[in-house]
Amino acid sequence: MKTLALFRHAKSDWTDARARDFDRPLNERGQRGALAMGGYIRDSGHRFDRMIASPAVRVAETIETASKAWGRTFAVEWDRRIYLASSATLMDLLRDLEGDPKAVLMVGHNPGLEDLIFDLVPDDGSSPLRDVVEQKFPTATFAVMELAIDSWADIDDRCARLVELKRPRDLDPALGPELPA
């Protein structure tokens, strides 16, 4: 059995139209969301053997801010392949993990993270949280899957069960989507 946690970067800033997508920082709501989710992850008791992440600025800032709430820093393996990756690319990256860690935290982007959940978790009612992901996998969302595999090399479609899903708005409604006036 393996554990894969996914953490989508927090809300980014779109005010500078000249900034490359890769270089967009977090906005103020994103900072608050990353801090809240960092506290939640700390309090949930999850432990990870490895953290792999996209090197995009908004991901790095999400990890940095969440780490303040965790009360510690983590060794992050930055992997450019995660930036805007498809589910297939993310699965290939996981298959190639060295050392065969038991629990991995991947920090990255949509639609890749969401699509990875759809590919790994069967749509058969065994993971009711999958339906929530179908509605939306917003920024700063944290999801945990248990994979029925002995080695990361064995990862394949429909091998997981989604056992936990937490969105920032579940912790603080002010961190949810902005409502129309």
> Could you give all domains of the chain from N- to C-terminal order, each with its CATH number?
2-173 (3.40.50.1240)
- Both structure tokens of 76: 């992050």
Report the b/e string of 45-59 with b at 16+ CB within 10 A: eeebebbbbbebbbb
Give CA–CA dist 59/107, Å, rounded.
7
Give CA–CA dist 159/4, Å, rounded.
11
pLDDT reported for residue 178: 65
pTM value surpassing 0.85: yes
pLDDT reported for residue 52: 98
In 7-79, alpha helices (H): 28-44, 57-70
pLDDT reported for residue 180: 47
Sign of the C-alpha dihedral computed for residues 153, 113, 85 and 35 taken in this order: negative
Contact 117/108 with Cβ under 8 angstroms? no
pLDDT reported for residue 82: 98
Per-residue tens of pLDDT for the chain, all 181 residues:
999 999 999 999 888 777 799 999 999 999 999 999 999 999 999 999 999 999 999 999 999 999 999 887 889 999 999 999 999 999 999 999 999 999 999 999 999 999 999 999 999 988 899 999 999 999 999 999 999 999 999 999 999 999 999 999 999 888 887 654 4
